[in-house]
Amino acid sequence: MAKDLRISFLLDFYGDMLTETQREVVDAYYNEDLSLAEIAQDREITRQGVRDAIKRAEQQLLEMEERLGLARRFQDIQKALTLICDCALSIQDLNERNGRVPGIDENVSKILECAQDIAVEA
């Protein structure tokens, strides 16, 4: 069974919406990199039971993301924040090379601080 690494990421967003068994099995398979046989032995269930639980959980996680889009939105916000920070640092560098216009460094600092606050909240 090929691993779709998006599932590990989606588990962070929607894992609480899965059953405890699904969450634990998917976590063991994707995050702990255990094999189906290892998980089955640990949980004292069949390998097929583990596979079925993982497949059901994967489908649920993908459907939740399709409907809610939280993971995609999070990634979009992270990309936008990275771009904002890169632009702010570029402005700061240009300001330094062109004689330091008063207020620019302070505004760059405010932009970077706000971006950091948003990143922590997201």
Question: What pLDDT was estimated at residue 1?
Answer: 63
DSSP 3-state assignment of 38?
A: helix
DSSP 3-state assignment of 35?
A: coil
Residue spans of the chain under pLDDT 50: none
Which tokens in the block code for residue 73? 């939105």
Q: List pLDDT tens digits, range 63-73.
A: 999 999 999 99
Instruction: Give me the long-range contacts of 26-35 (CB less than 8 A, separation at least 24).
Output: 26/53, 26/54, 26/57, 26/58, 26/61, 29/3, 29/54, 30/3, 30/5
Cβ 88 vs Cβ 40: under 8 Å = no
Question: What pLDDT was estimated at residue 100?
Answer: 87
Domain boundaries, the chain: 6-68, 72-121
CATH 1.10.10.10 fits 6-68, yes or no: yes
Give how far the C-alpha of residue 26 lies from the chain's centroid of Cα atoms, to the nearest Å.
Answer: 16
